[in-house]
Amino acid sequence: MSWLGSWCALAILAVVLITASDGASVKLDFGSTLYTNGKRDFDRERLVNAHGDFQAPANARALMEYIVEELGVFFGRSNKGPLSQKIFPSRTGQMRSEGQKNIDKVDCDWCDPLRKRMITRERVVVDIAEKLNLVQGSNAKINAGANFAANFFKHFFDRSRGYPKPRYAECFNEPLVKWKSLRKSKTESEESVVRRIGNICGRMCTAITRANPEVMAGGPAASSARPHLSNFANFRKRMKTFLDSARKSGCINFISEHLYNSGGAVQDANLDLIETYTYRTSGRKRILPYMVSEAGAYDATWYSDDGRIYSAPPLGGRDFKILSDAFGGFMSSLRTHDNLLKYINFLTLDPISRQASGKYRYPWALVEGYGEKAKIKWTPLIHYFELLKGVQGDFVYSYSDDANVKVHAVGNALKAYVLLQNFATSGSVDVNLMFPRGRPEVERVVHRRLYLRPRKLTGADKSQNLLRGGYLRWSNATLNGIPNKVELKAGAMTVLELRLSKMLVERGSVRRTRHYMDNVTNKGKNINSYPFEIEGGEKYNVFFEDIPQGRDGMAYIRIAHSRRPTSAVKPQVWVNDKRVTNFRARMAGPKRDYGDKYFGVIVVPYDLEELTSVTRPKVSLQYPDDGGWISTVTLEVDQCDNRSCCALGGRGKSFTCVSTTSSTISRRRRFPYGEQLLRNPPFQPIENNAWKRFGQTSYTKVPDLLYGDYALRMNAESSG
C-alpha cells in the first residue's frame, strides 16, 4: 500500500475508533501546585457563574439563597447596559437623577435583601445588538453613545450603598451574527458592517475606561466560537476584522465569545488561534484576556419567540447535552485559566421573565414555574452547580494520557478535588488514577457524577435534533477511600471530593507557560498569513523564540488543524530536524455535526532539554495529502522543581520519583471559605466553653492544625 493509501486507511480507522471504549490514565500530585503563567487560583467568582444579576421574586428567594450560599454560585451577567437606559438618547441630561433611581432599586426598604447582600463588582453588563441602531448613524451619534456609556458607569452605581460598579462592559450582545440587520444598505458587505461595529466598540472602550479606569470594556460577545467554518472565513470576516477595527479606533480590553456546542477539540484549537493572533498583532507580544459570557448547548428547535413564546417539551437528552457542553467548554477553557476573566453558563434563575411563560419550561432555566405567585422548583439543570459544590483552592498538577479524557485538579488546606470529563460520544472508559508520589490519606471521598442513561432515539428526540436519547442521571456517593479506577460514560462529568486526613501543603511546583509561533516558512519563504492551506508533501517549518530552559521539564507541541475526516489524521512531525513518532492523533471528542472539517488539536509531548538544545527551536510538519488548514502551532512548557518532575506526563521514558527535596518553599494551602468546620485556638474541650451550644456542635481532634489541637464541627446547618 502506498504512503498516501496507508494514511487514508488510518484516517478512516480513527473516525471509527474515536468513540471506542478503552483505558485511560491520569496523573495527580496534590503536593505540586500548578502555576500557569504565574497564576494558581481556582476563583469561583470568575469560574462558577450562572446568567443573571441575583434578582429574584419573593417566591424564588429561598432557591436563590441555596444556589448562592450553599453551592457558591455567582450570577455574572445581565442585559442592562448603558444604551438600554430609557433616557438614551433623548434625555441624557437626566443622567444623575436616573442614576440615583437605578441605585434606589437596589438600596431601599422594600428591595430584595438577598440581591443587595450577594451582588459584587465581578459582573458583566451588555446591551442587546439592536441598540447599535441608536449610535451607528453618524460620528456624532457614536460620540454621544460613548460619552453616555462612560457617564453611565460613573452615576448608575454606588458601592457605599451596596451596588458596586460592574467590572466588565461588553459593548453589544452577539452583533456579528446579526450583521445583515445592521447594514446601512442591502449591498453593504459583512466585513464592512463588522468593521463599523468594531469601530464603535473601540471608541466606547476608550470613553468608558478613560472615565472609569477600574472597568474593562470588550466584546464582541460572539454568538459562536467556531473560527474554522467556511475555511476560516468565520475568523477572518468576523473576529479578526472586529479586533483590528476596535484596536485601530480605540481600545479593546478583552475578547468575549459564547461557547455553544463547541467544548473539547473546537475550543482547544479556538483558544490557541485567538491567543496566537492577539499575541502577534498586539505590538507588545501580549495576549488579550478572554471571557466566555455564555456557555452550553443550543438548537433552534428548542425555543422560539416570534411574538409567542414556544419552548419544546423537556427531554433528558436535551438537559444532558446542555450540561455536558457547558462543562466541556469549561474543562477546555480551564487550561488557560490564567487568561480567563470569567466563565458564565447560560443557565438562568428568573421565573418572572417572559421566556418562562411558555407551556413548557425555558430550556436553559434552573427553575420551573412562571410568575410571582407560582410554586417554583428546581429543574435537573441545578445538578451542574451541585457537581461543582465546594471546588476552590489552588490548581495542582494533573495530566491525562487520553485526549478524550480531560482532567483538572484543585486543592485547599482541607480538601482536594479531581474534575473529569469523557468527550467520547459512545461507550465508556475506565480511568486509572495514578499518584506518582503516593496516595494521600483521606477521611472520605465524595463521588459526584452526571451522566446519560441511554435509550433508543425517539421521534421526540429527533424533532429536537438530539443525537443521543436517554435519561439524565445524578449520583452523589460517599466512599471510604480513593478508588483505583473511575468509570466515565460517554460525555459524563465527574468530580471527586477528597476530605484529607492531613492538612494539604504545597511541597513542589510545576510552572507552565505558553509560547506562540514566531514565524512559519515553506521552501525557504515566510508564510505571513494564517491559518494557511495544507499542500500534501510540503514541509512547513515553525520557529519559536525565548523558550525557557529547564532540566527534566516537558514541552507539549500543540498542532491545531482543520481537515476533512477522510483526510490523513496527523502529519509527520520533526523537532529540530529529528523525526518524532510517539504521539497519538486523537483530539478531544469526535467531529462536531457542523461544518465539513474536523477542527482540533493534536498534542505531541517532547523533552524540554532536547527542544531547547538550539537557540530557535523548530517544529516541522508534513501532510501526505492536500486539503484542510493549519491553524496554529503552539508550545506549552512545563518546568518543574526536583520533587515534582516525576509527576509530569507524556514522557517517552520512565522517570522514577526519587528526590524528596524541593526548590519550592513549603506553603500551607488556604482554608476554603465555605466550610462548616471552624479552626481556632478557643476551640478546646473545656467546661463552659461558649462554643458548646445545645449539643449542636462537637469538638474534633485534628492533626497538623495551624493553631491548637481541636476543631469545632457544626452538626446542623442552624448550629451556633
Among 204, 197, 186, smallest CA distance to 222 is for 197
Please give the average pLDDT of every successive group of 10 residues along the chain, which has 720 residues: 39 40 88 96 96 91 92 91 92 90 89 83 95 94 96 94 94 96 95 97 98 97 96 96 96 97 96 97 90 97 94 97 98 98 96 94 96 95 97 97 97 96 96 94 96 96 97 95 96 97 92 96 91 96 94 96 96 97 94 95 97 96 97 97 92 80 77 54 53 57 56 53
* DSSP class of 158: B
| 411: in domain | no
| 531: in domain | yes
Do 216 and 341 contact (CB within 8 A), yes or no? yes
- pLDDT in the model for residue 4: 38
| 113: in domain | no
C-alpha cell at 306: 416570534
In a shared domain, residues 604 and 538: yes
CATH classification at residue 598: 2.60.120.1200
C-alpha cell at 504: 494539604
| 597: in domain | yes
Residues in the chain, total: 720
- pLDDT in the model for residue 713: 66
In a shared domain, residues 517 and 610: yes
Distance CA 589, CA 394 (A): 27
C-alpha cell at 521: 516558512
**Strand 340-348 versus strand 49-51 pairing type:** parallel
Strands of the sheet with 618-622, listed across from one edge: 525-527, 519-522, 539-543, 618-622, 572-575, 578-580
In a shared domain, residues 639 and 576: yes
In a shared domain, residues 520 and 589: yes
In a shared domain, residues 640 and 687: no
In a shared domain, residues 591 and 711: no
- Torsion on CA atoms 201, 204, 205, 207, rounded to nearest 10: 160
- pLDDT in the model for residue 719: 37
Distance CA 143, CA 207 (A): 9
Q: In a 3-state reduction of DSSP, which class is residue 58?
A: helix
Boundary-marking domain end, from 647, 664, 693: 647
Boundary-marking domain end, from 647, 666, 700: 647
| 315: in domain | no
Q: Is the dihedral of CA 169, 246, 178, 301 positive or negative?
A: negative
Instruction: Provide the domain limits for residue 707.
Output: 676-720
Q: In a 3-state reduction of DSSP, which class is residue 244?
A: helix
| 442: in domain | no
Cell numbers 525557557 correspond to 548
In a shared domain, residues 685 and 590: no
In a shared domain, residues 622 and 680: no
In a shared domain, residues 621 and 551: yes
C-alpha cell at 38: 504565574
DSSP percent split of the chain into helix, strand, coil, nearest 5: 25, 30, 40
Cell numbers 512559519 correspond to 520
Strand partners, 125: 78, 169
Do 86 and 80 contact (CB within 8 A), yes or no? no
| 483: in domain | no
Total tally of structural domains belonging to the chain: 2
In a shared domain, residues 620 and 717: no
**Cα-flanking dihedrals φ and ψ of residue 443, to 5°?**
-80, -40
Strand partners, 396: 33, 409
Distance CA 567, CA 559 (A): 16
In a shared domain, residues 639 and 524: yes
Boundary-marking domain end, from 632, 647, 662: 647
Distance CA 347, CA 365 (A): 6
Residue 675, C-beta contacts closer than 8 angstroms, at least 6 positions apart: 414
In a shared domain, residues 576 and 638: yes
The continuous run of DSSP H or E covering 199 comes out as: helix 190-211
